A and B are shown apart, each in its own frame.
Chain A
Amino acid sequence: MDELRRYLAIVRKDLRVEFRTREILYTTTLFALLLVVIFAFAFLSDPAKSRDYGPGIVWVTVLFATTVGQNRLFDRERENDCLWALLLSPAAPSTVFLAKATAQIAFALLMQIPTILLILVFFDLRVTDPLAFVGALALGNVALGLVGTLFAAMLMNSRMKEVLLPLVTYPLFVPVVIAGVKVTAVAIGAPIAEDPEVWLRFLAGFDMIFAVVTVALFGRMVRA
C-alpha cells in the first residue's frame, strides 16, 4: 500500500512539473511534427506508394521523438541530484523505476497522438484495423519506455548522454520496430501477408520479459 502511494506520488510529481513547465511535451511534439514534415518532403513523390513507407515513418518518428523526451525527463532528476532523493527514500528502487517509466510512457503517448494523426493526414493513410494500429503503438511504447528509462537514468550524469542513449537502446529496439512496422502495415491495409496477431503477441512478450529484467537490473545498476 505504501509502495503504491509512493508510485503514484512520483508519477503525479512528474505530471505536475510537466503541466507547469510543458517543456517535454512542447519540445518533443514539435520535434516529431517537424520530422513528419521532413519525411513528407523526403518520401512523398508518389502518393500511391505512401502505404509502403507510411509504417516506417510512423515508427521512425516515434523512436526519434521518444528518445529525445527520455533524456529530458531525467534532466529534471539530474538537477539537484533529485533522482537520489527518490533512491535514498524508503521507496523500493523498483517503485522508483516503474514510476519514472510510467511518466515516460505517458508523455510519449501524449506526444504521439497529434503526430500520428498528422502522419495519417499528410500521407493519406486509412486505418482499416484500428485495434491492431493502437495496440502496436501501445505495446511498442511500453517496450521503448522500459528500456529507455533504464538507460536514461543510468546515463543522466554522462556528458555524452544525448548520443549514448540511442547508441545503447536502438539495437535493443530493433525487434520492436520490426514488429511495430509489420502490424502498422497490416493495420493500414498494406498488401502483405502477415498475421498481426503474431507480432502483437511478440510485442507483449517483449514487454513482459523486459519489464522483469529492467526492474531487476535498475537498483543494481544505479548503485554499481
Chain B
Amino acid sequence: MRFKSLLVTTAAVLAAGAANAQMSDGVIKIGVMNDQSGLYADVSGPGGTWAAKKAVEDYGAAAKGLKVEVVFADHQNKPDVGSNIARQWYDVDKVDVIVDVPTSSVALAINQITKEKNKVFLGSGPATADLTGPACTPNTVHWTYDTWALANGTGKAIVDTGGKSWFFLTADYAFGHALERDTKAVVEANGGKVLGAVRTPFPGTDFSSFLLQAQASKAQIIGLANAGGDTINSIKQASEFGIVEGGQKLAGMLMFDTDIHALGLKTAQGLNFTTAWYWDANDNNRAFAKDFSAANGGKYPTMVHAGIYSAVIHYLKAVEALKSDADGAKVVAKMKELPSDDKLFGKGTVREDGRHMHDMYLVEVKKPAESKKPWDYLTVKKTIPAAQAFRPLKDGNCPLVKKS
C-alpha cells in the first residue's frame, strides 16, 4: 500500500519532468520574469509579458526568419524563487534571455546566475544601480532606470528649486537604503542638507508615527525612499495629517503611474518625481498605451513595460546581426556595439557597464481639474539628457570598465 503512494509520487515527479523537457533548438526563447500577483504586479506583471510579445511582433521576427517564443513566470519578489526559476529556465527549458525582474534582491540573484550560465539578462524592473556598478557582468543590460538616476533627477531638481533640508522615510531593506544613500549624496553635492532619517519596517501600513517624526525635524522636504504600497500609504497619510499644509513637501523617489492611479489625483497632486517614460508624451507612446490598455483590462503601461518592449527589440536586433543566440556575452557585446532605436525610447546606446542610455523626465502630478481623460496624470516639466541622467561611468566601480 505504501508502494502505491510511492507510485503516485514518482508519477507526479515524472509527469513534471516530461512537461519540462522541451527542446528549443533554433528558437529564441525569451523568459519574462516578474511579480505576477504581488506588490509590483501592476508595475510590470502580466503587462510585461504582453510588452515582450508586442516587441517580438513589431520587430517582425517571423518575417525575418527568427523563431521567437515568450514564456513568463512569477518570482513572488523572493530571490530563492527567482533563482530557482532561472536555473530551470536556463538548464532545462532552454531559455536564452531573461527580461524584466523587478525587486533588486531577485535581480542581483538572476544577474549572478545569468553570468554563470552565459546567457542574457535585460533588467527593466529592477532599481539597484549595483547592476551596472560593483555587480556588473558582461551578460547584463540594465535598461529603464536605477536608484542613482531617480535620486539624481528628483533630488537635484528639488534642491535647485529651494528644497535644501531633507528628512528621509526609508524602507528598511537594501533597496530603501540604496535610494537613501544615492539621494543623500545628490542633495549634499548640490548644497542641501539631510537632517535625519527613520527606517520603517518593510512592508508597512501605518506611517503616521514616522511622518510625525519627520514633521518634528522641521525639514523642508520629506524624501520617501520606498516603493509601491509603502509610498502610497505614506503619501496618503501625510495628506491626512496635514503635513503638506504645514509647509513641508513630499518627494517620492520611486513612483509609477499605477501608484498615482491608486492614490487619486486629489492626494497626489503636485508631487514631483523622475520617470524614464510617460505614455502621454507623444503619438507613438499613446498608440502603444492604447493597445496595451485594450489588452490589459484598461490598465495603462508604466516605464517598466515600455522598457521591456524597447530592450527586447534591441536584443532581437543584436541576435539577428549575430545570427546566433548561443553565447550570451557575445550577444550583449553586440548590443553594446549597435545603437538602439525603437518607437518608445527613441535612439540610445548601451554603455560599457551594461547601462542603457536614454533621456529621463522630471514630471509633476496634475491637479484634478487639469486631468482631461483616464490616466491623464502627469506633466513633463523637464527632460534630463541621457548624458546627465545616469551615473558617470567612472563612479560605478564596475569591474568591466578599465581604469584609465
Q: Decide whether A and B assemble into one complex.
A: no
Q: Which residues of B come within 8 Å of A, CB atoms?
A: none
Q: Which residues of A come within 8 Å of B, CB atoms?
A: none
